Amino acid sequence: MAKTQKDIKPVRLRLELISDYLSSDEKVMLKRYGESSSGDCITREVLIPSDMTLHALHYVMQKLFGWQNSHLRQFNLPEDVYQELTQGTVKGWSDLVGVLFQPPSEAEHDLFWDDDYESGNFNAWLRKKYTGPYVYGGYFEQGDVARADVDELLDRFEELEIKESFSEYLKRKRTDPDAEPKVIGKKALVDMTLDEMNAAIALECGTESLMESLLITDVLGYTDEEIGSSGFPVTQVLYYEYDYGDSWIVKVTKLESCEDLVADHSVTQEELETARETVRMKHKPVCLSKDGVDVMDDVGGLSGFANFLKAINEPEDKQEAADLKRWARSMGWKQQKVIPKKMI
């Protein structure tokens, strides 16, 4: 059933581009040249329609942080939430396939079902992807297909060898360089722990990726919301990982109020009301505030971007700095300032 204006509610998300591996010098560069107030992260505050899917949020991320949709990505839960939901077992995980987690056969060709950009204005193409109405056309996330897919996997491996943990194997190998991984028993796949399964077989997409057809508001609770043991929402935090080589990580949280943004003058009350109306009437997200400049693809993650900023702003070699700037422009990176409401 089509959503009406009355059905669509503006929901505030905080998107924090973070890294656990920033050096003190890199933090200084992000603060000095990257317009990050803390130097620890790059942040966007955004209002989204309440019926936005994780799939559509992916495209919002691409626009808000300056990427070009040219690498793989996934949405994950915090490790403690994942372990609690699955109980660390294949049975616990498989029961949630098609409900929360992607089925084992869902791969790049299915996830990128609408990745149809060929030419023209890339930003206009992105805008269509994150503007409602939201649909999801991936085949494997249909409930019956997802269930059949994971059942086929479980039926295929009625008996598998259980190998010792990698840490135990390494411990033995220190004293015996010729040691081989030890088989310690056999089990049906469905009776294994997730660690045992991962040691026995390799699933191309892993087991942690969330289905992108899910509504953000179903999965993600407010930061101060008590998460129950059953049903949705399942977490107070989501993680979006883009480009497994550069490993860009965005921490996603949902906040109930925008009063802090008004209080610190990030947005006026009038601008906030206009943004809410835009979300409802145009069925699209609105950026309320930004902290930090856009990044780009293939620069080496947040650490690499901080080093890039140093290289072009405090150059040891002016020709190298000029070449880096030209390369950055070819990657779609722009230095002009864009006000938040014009970002998406």
CB count in 10 Å sphere of residue 118: 5
Question: Does residue 199 contact residue 165 with C-beta atoms inside 8 Å?
Answer: yes
pLDDT of residue 222: 97
Asked whether the bond before 133 is cis by omega within 30 degrees of 0, the reply is yes
Question: Does residue 117 contact residue 332 with C-beta atoms inside 8 Å?
Answer: no
Rounded distance between C-alpha atoms, residue 273 and residue 252, angstroms: 23
Residue with tokens 């949630």: 96
Rounded distance between C-alpha atoms, residue 240 and residue 330, angstroms: 25
Q: What are phi and psi of 106, to 5 degrees?
A: -70, 120
Consecutive 10-residue averages of pLDDT for the chain (344 residues): 73 98 98 97 98 98 97 97 97 97 91 93 96 96 96 94 84 90 91 92 92 98 86 96 97 97 97 97 98 97 98 96 96 89 94
Rounded distance between C-alpha atoms, residue 106 and residue 146, angstroms: 9
Question: Does residue 312 contact residue 321 with C-beta atoms inside 8 Å?
Answer: yes
Domains of the chain: 10-86+117-135+212-342 (3.10.290.30)
Q: Is 119 exposed, middle or buried (0-12, 13-18, 19+ CB in 10 A)?
A: exposed
pLDDT of residue 5: 65
pLDDT of residue 105: 94
Which residues have a Cβ under 8 Å from the Cβ of 260 and sit 6 or more positions away?
none
Q: At what angle do helices 318-330 and 301-313 cross, to 10 degrees?
A: 130
pLDDT of residue 3: 56
CA dihedral 223→226→229→235, nearest 10 degrees, is 0
pLDDT of residue 207: 96
CB count in 10 Å sphere of residue 263: 8
pLDDT of residue 84: 95
Which residues have a Cβ under 8 Å from the Cβ of 84 and sit 6 or more positions away?
none
Whether the CA torsion 328, 331, 333, 334 is positive or negative: it is positive
pLDDT of residue 4: 61
